[in-house]
Amino acid sequence: MQLLNSRGSSVPQLLLAGLALSNPGLAVPVQDSPRQYLLAGLDLPPKYIKKAKSPYNPDFRDPLDRPVDSVGEKLDPLPYRNGLGASVLGPWNWERSRQSPDLVRPPSTDHGDMKNMRWSFADSHVRIEEGGWTRQTTVRELGSSVDLASVNMRLDKGVIRELHWHKEAEWAYVLDGEVRITAIDYEGGNFIDDLKKGDLWYFPSGVPHSLQGLGENGTEFLLIFDDGAFSEESTFILSDWLAHTPKSVISKNFNLAPEVFEHLPKNEKYIFQGSYPGSLKDEEPKGKNVKKSKYNFSHRMLEQEPKITSGGEVRITDSKNFPISKTVAAAHVLIQPGAIREMHWHPNADEWNFFLTGRARVTIFGAQGTARTFDYVAGDVGIVPRNMGHFVENIGDEPIEMLEVFKADEFRDFSLFQWMGETPKKLVVDHLFQDDPKNGEIFWNKVKNAEKDEVTLPDPEKGMESGGVREL
C-alpha cells in the first residue's frame, strides 16, 4: 500500500526507514498500521477510528440521561433505555423520529401526561399568493398555544401585504431581507419606516398598517398576535371592505362621483405585486393636514447591547425599551454548543418559542411529578406554560438562535440557580443534601454568590459535556 499525505503526495518510505534507524528503539512500522500513519504525520483512515456505540440498543446504559443529537450524528432513534424497551416491527417515520429523539426514548425522568408543546411550521398549510406566501401556527395547529398565535410571511421585491388591521395587536420580527411598514396611530399621525433582519415592529389593536418587501429579495418575517385563536383569514382588509360597501356610500364618504370607483377590486387583494417605492422622504404623505406620529412602532432588537453570559448572549425587548409594545415582550437568545438556557420559569405569561437555528431539547416540569421532554429544530415552535420549570439545552454542533415571546408588558423570569443562592444555606442543604453534607457544601459554595447566568456553559472537566454519545 502507498501512503498519501494531506496533499495527495507519496510519503517516501526512506523517511520511515530513517526514523527507525535514528532511534534503534523503534522498529520499522508495519505496513498500513495506525502507528505508521501517525509517525508520518497523517490522519488516520476511517477504518481505524472507533465509532461511538449507538445509544439505541438494549445494552446501552446512561443513568445521567445525556442528550443524543440523532440528526447531527445520523442516528435512528429506537425505544431502548437502560436495558428496557424493544425494537420496532411496524411502520415507522424515521425522519420524524430523528427530529424528536426524546419522544422515542424519553429521559428516565419524564413522567405523566402533558399536552403537546411542539409544532413545526413545516406542518402548517401554506397560502400562496402573487409574489408571496403565508402560513400560520395558532391554537388550531398547536392546542397549547392559547396566549399567542403566529404567522410566517414572505413578500418578494415590491410585493405588498395589503392595507389592513386586526382585533389583535401585532408584534413582528424580521427574519431576513428588508421591509417597509406604514401605519397611523389613534390620533391620526402617520408612521413609515424601513426595517431589516433582526428589527421589530408592533401595532396595537385596531391600528391600520401595511407591509411591503424591499431590496432584491424582498423580505420574510414572523408575526405574533396576542390571542392564540387569531386567524390570518379574519383580517380587516381595505379592498374587502370596499368590495362589500355600496358604491353610493363610498361616493358619499369620499365626496367623489361614483364613476371614480367603477374599477375598485371586486375581492380582497391580500398579497399582491405593487410598484416599487421610492425613499422614505419621497414617499411620506405631504397633504395639508398630514402629521407624523409621535409614537415609534419599530425597534432595532439586534442592535441592542446584549448581556454576555458564559454560554451565549441575551437581548430583552419589552415595554421598558420599546414603549409601544404593551402586550408582547420578548428575548432574543443565543446558546452556544454544549450550553443551556438555565433552569428557570416565567411567572407572568406562557413562553412561546421560535427556533431560528440549531437543535435543542427542552424538559418541561408541570408539578405533581409530571415532566415531558421535547426536541426542536429550526422552524419549530415551542410552548412552555406559565410557571412551569424548564431549560433549553443545545444538543447540536451549531449555536441555537431562538426567540422567547410572551403575552406581557415586561419580561420576567426566576432563575433556579439565583434562588438557591438567595436562600439561607441551612434551608437549601436541608432540602437537597440532608443525608450528604459533603456534597451539600460543594453545592452551596457553587450557588452562594447567587449569580444569574441565563445561558450557562458547563465545565467539560466535570463531565457535563452536552451532545455526543457516551456510555457509563
Whole-angstrom CA distances from 352 to 73, 219, 233, 313, 320 are 28, 23, 22, 19, 20
3-state helix, strand, coil in the chain (%, to 5): 20, 30, 50
Q: How far is CA 342 from the centre of its chain?
A: 16
Q: Which among 168, 178, 220, 404 is annotated as catalytic?
A: 404
As a whole number of angstroms, the distance between CA 384 and CA 366 comes to: 9
The alpha carbons of the chain give a radius of gyration, in whole angstroms, of 29
As a whole number of angstroms, the distance between CA 294 and CA 377 comes to: 40
Length of the chain: 472
The cell for 301 is 432588537
- 272 close to 212: Cβ distance less than 8 angstroms: no
Cell 421589530 appears where?
Answer: 200
Specify burial of residue 66 (Cβ count, 10 A radius: 0-12, 13-18, 19+). buried
Q: How far is CA 458 from the centre of its chain?
A: 21
As a whole number of angstroms, the distance between CA 291 and CA 35 comes to: 79
- C-alpha dihedral, 98 to 198 to 168 to 346, nearest 10°: 60
E-assigned strand segments in 97-239: 118-120, 126-129, 132-137, 149-155, 159-165, 170-184, 190-195, 199-203, 209-225, 236-237
Specify burial of residue 347 (Cβ count, 10 A radius: 0-12, 13-18, 19+). exposed
**Residue 95 designated active-site:** no
DSSP SS3 for 55: coil
* Catalytic positions: 404
